[in-house]
Chains A and B, each alone.
Chain A
Amino acid sequence: MRDLTKGNMGNGMLGALHRISGIFIKELIQMRRDKITFAMMLVLPVMQLILFGFAINMDPKHLPTKLQLEENTRFTRTIVAAMQNSGYFDFITTDESDGDPLVTGKAAFIVTIPVGFSKALINNQQPQILIEADATDPAAASNAIGNASTIINQALAHDLQRLNSQSSLKPAVDVVVHRAYNPEAITQYNIVPGLLGVILTMTSVMITAIAMTREAERGTMENLLSLPAKPVEVMLGKIFPYSIVGVVQTFVVLLAAYFLFEVPFTGSVLLLAIGVTVFVLANLALGFTFSTIARTQMEALQLTFFFFLPSILLSGFMFPFRGMPQWAQYIGELLPLTHFLRIVRGVMLKAAQIPDLVNEVYAIGAFMLFMCVVAILRYRTTLD
């Protein structure tokens, strides 16, 4: 009996792999049985995506617009008609005494066509039209703004063809947009990739933080600690199953981003895959560290949210990174989400390749290694 049961692979790599796989399988089973957590991990990303997605996928039209026409010519009339026909702009009249319509919220845009516009247009001098936009809610205004230049220039092209046979590569009119209150507009393209990072941060940190404290709370910790598994093995065995969850979540979000919201996907897929992997592992390691500090699942949750808030606020997800004060940027640089956002946005929107963003990967990797070391050092092999 004895030789049949006891392998002499106790301390080698093979033994370690056995123990890790034991913990891995146990966690997978427990994860599958814990219906609420399991649902949370898969439903939460979809729900968030759809909620955010609807808010930003809406293409708001009929936005109140105040016209400031400083001259009235054939061209200005063409422009006004074209803008109105586009459906984005509804012209309103306001009283000067009511105050700035952008501030009061009566208007979303103020469109100014300056004196001398028509003359400059005829002379092919590319005159300017100023659109001041209330960009506090950039998603609301971005489509209208994005299309304004095309709408105006296409309308004028017809009028100008008769006047001016010379074709120009330059658009006839330079539409100048002033976004008030939010200089670096966040578009839906910015949010959906960012959402991937936010979802992964929240679920990954929380899930490992809970996975360990749960053992303590249910009284199974004493048993786990009495079995021959080293801290590293417990950590890896606990982290691997949840990294699979991270990968699944990534697929869900990316597919939704691509099909529902038509977020372009232009860069290196390999870079994204590496970025996601390192990022998920970094967050899982952080969650494991939290579980060595927290004694209960509740405390683990509190720590998670304590970390989650600055991650959302200082990573560039909510607010433009460059718009933050210097000290906030320094803190932001320490957060894995900051670097991950650069990778995802780079890959999805800017056609980034691996060399462009490899430093961001290193930054997340350094965070991950640091957290693993802290977790191992802090991991208690005793019940003290």
Chain B
Amino acid sequence: MSDYAIDVSGLVKRFDNKVAVNGVDIKMPKGQVWGFLGPNGSGKTTTIRMICGLLQPSEGKGQCLGFDILKQSAQIKNLTGYMTQKFSFWGDLTIRENLEFVARLYQLKNIKQIVDNTLANLGLTHRQHQLAGALSGGWKQRLALAAVTMSNPKLLLLDEPTAGVDPQARRDFWDEIHKLSAQGLTVLVSTHYMDEAERCDQIVYLANGELITQGSVDEIIKQADIVAFQLKGHGIREQLQSIKQEEGVSSAAYFGAAVHVCGKNADELKDCLHKYQSDDISLTQVDVNLEDAFIQMMANAGFDQRQHG
């Protein structure tokens, strides 16, 4: 059996005439945590669905946990926990009933004990008899997360699992993910949060249905091949529009009381930013962050979000 949890190539998905995913290859080793990033509508959800057998690819082939994604989706489903982007548990069942239902479909033994444990971990024991539909958005996410990990799957496919979840719960979630991954679980998680992307072993970046880049955080930042400066001080915020117009600037954004500026060439960028420097305003070179890298890559790919999505 191969060492890859996910090994797919040339995945294409067309809806009517719209191409949602256009030739994506992913080779993901077992036991890793990968982040799946990309702008809205870039094809993350569609790709995940093809991997776990919920959508039939228009083209391409591959394996998931050693099973053919085209023909053996039944086996794949048995070993995979898939958390949908939209809450898709049963709102007219209670929290406990939802968990019990999932446990039965995975043919777990000791359902009562497992569900009790899960509820206790979630901190939902006292609310177990509430209808799931009555939970707040963040709690719905946490219930869904608990449900997909309950069956001890070999692979977790999580589609924006922490959207709307508070920081403490997000931290707990990532602790749990890394704990499970240390035990050999493979996790592919889509997210729009940079801090979450930074917690991943590798990042796969999709735009417009195509895989733009892939690698560790450092690799991706290096690949972007840009430098960043920060202008900080009183009055700089009013200057943002004019900074954006400067020749050597490829992107600029507010960063609290500062403006964060990126460009391809350090000298060129420094030259054109000098004039904003004053007694009140300082100019310093800073580390390029992941967000800078992604914005640069989207620009490189000629991708304008507003035209797609």
Please list the residues of chain A having a beta carbon within 8 angstroms of any beta carbon in chain B. 1-2, 4-7, 9-10, 14-15, 18-19, 21-23, 25-26, 29-30, 33-34, 218-223, 225-230, 381-384
Contact = CB atoms under 8 A, between A and B. Distances in A.
Contacts of A9: 107
B55 A33 contact: no
B54 A22 contact: no
B193 interface: no
21 contacts: A5-B108, A5-B151, A6-B151, A6-B152, A7-B108, A7-B109, A21-B104, A23-B101, A25-B100, A26-B93, A29-B93, A219-B84, A222-B54, A222-B86, A226-B52, A227-B102, A228-B78, A228-B106, A381-B73, A382-B54, A382-B73
A369 B165 CA distance: 48
Contact of B91 (A10, A29, A218): A218
Which 8 A/B pairs are nearest by Cβ-Cβ distance? A22-B104, A223-B88, A228-B78, A226-B82, A227-B105, A18-B107, A228-B77, A15-B107
Given A1-B152, A5-B114, A383-B49, A33 B92 contact: yes
Interface in B123-163: 150-152
Given A34-B92, A220-B90, A222-B54, A228 B108 contact: no
B56 interface: yes
A220 B108 contact: no
A318 B110 CA distance: 54
A230 B151 contact: no
Majority DSSP secondary structure for residues of B touching A = loop
Contacts of B91: 218
A26 B88 contact: no
Contacts of B84: 219, 222-223, 226
Interface residues of B, number: 37
B56 A384 contact: yes
B101 A22 contact: yes
A384 B70 CA distance: 13
A11 to B, nearest CB: 8
A223 B85 CA distance: 10
Nearest to B45: A222
Interface in B49-87: 49, 52-56, 73-74, 77-78, 80, 82, 84, 86-87
A273 B278 CA distance: 94
Given A2-B152, A25-B101, A226 B92 contact: no
A24 B226 CA distance: 58
B54 A225 contact: yes
